[in-house]
Amino acid sequence: MVPAAPPTPRPTAAPSPAASPARTLRVRRDRHARGLRGPLAPPESPLTRSRAEVFADLVLDAVERLERRWRRELQDVEFAVEEVPPADSAVDGPVPLGRLYRGGAGHDARIVLYRRPIEARASGRPELAALVHDLMVEQVADLLGVEPETVDPDYGLD
C-alpha cells in the first residue's frame, strides 16, 4: 500500500511588507472544473435585458409613434405596464390585454397594458411589437372616441 501524499498547500498571496492591505491578491476558485464564474454576456448586450424591459421598450415605441400625431390630445395621458390584470377583471370573459381608465376628478387618463397575457398571444418579437402597437392604438381610439384607423392609418397592417 502506498502512503497518501500530504495535501499540497493552497496558493495564497501573503501581503508583502511594501503592499498595502487594500492590494492583497485573492485567488479565484474553479470549482468542479466548470469554468470561472461571471456574466454570460456583457451588460450592454441585448442578451442581458429582461422580457419586462423589452416589453416596456415596445410600449414606449408605440406611444412615441402615436404622440407624433396626437401630442396635444395625449399630453395628459399616463401610460403604464402591469404584469397581469386585476383578479376581478376577468371573471366573465377573456383575460383583458389592456385597460383604459378615464380621467376625472383631478386624475389624468391612464392606459394600462398587461404584459403577461400579451406575451402569451405573440409568437415572436415582431408579432409582439405589432400586437402592442395595435392595442395601444385601440386604447387611444377609445379614449378619443374615434375609430382606430383614424388614430393610425396603419392599424392592423403590421
Convert the pLDDT of each residue in 1-17 to its tens digit.
556 666 655 555 555 55
Separation CA 119–CA 82 (nearest Å): 12
CA distance 116 to 33: 38
pLDDT for 120: 95
Topology classification of domain 48-151 = Zincin-like (3.30.2010)
In eight-state DSSP terms, residue 81 is E
Count the Cβ atoms, other than its own, within 10 Å of residue 65.
Answer: 15
Residue 105 has pLDDT above 90, yes or no: no
Q: How far apart are CA 90 and CA 17, in angstroms?
A: 70
The pLDDT assigned to 147 comes to 95
Residue 18 has pLDDT above 80, yes or no: no
* 113 phi, psi to nearest 5 deg: -110, 140
Is pLDDT at 65 greater than 90 in this prediction? yes
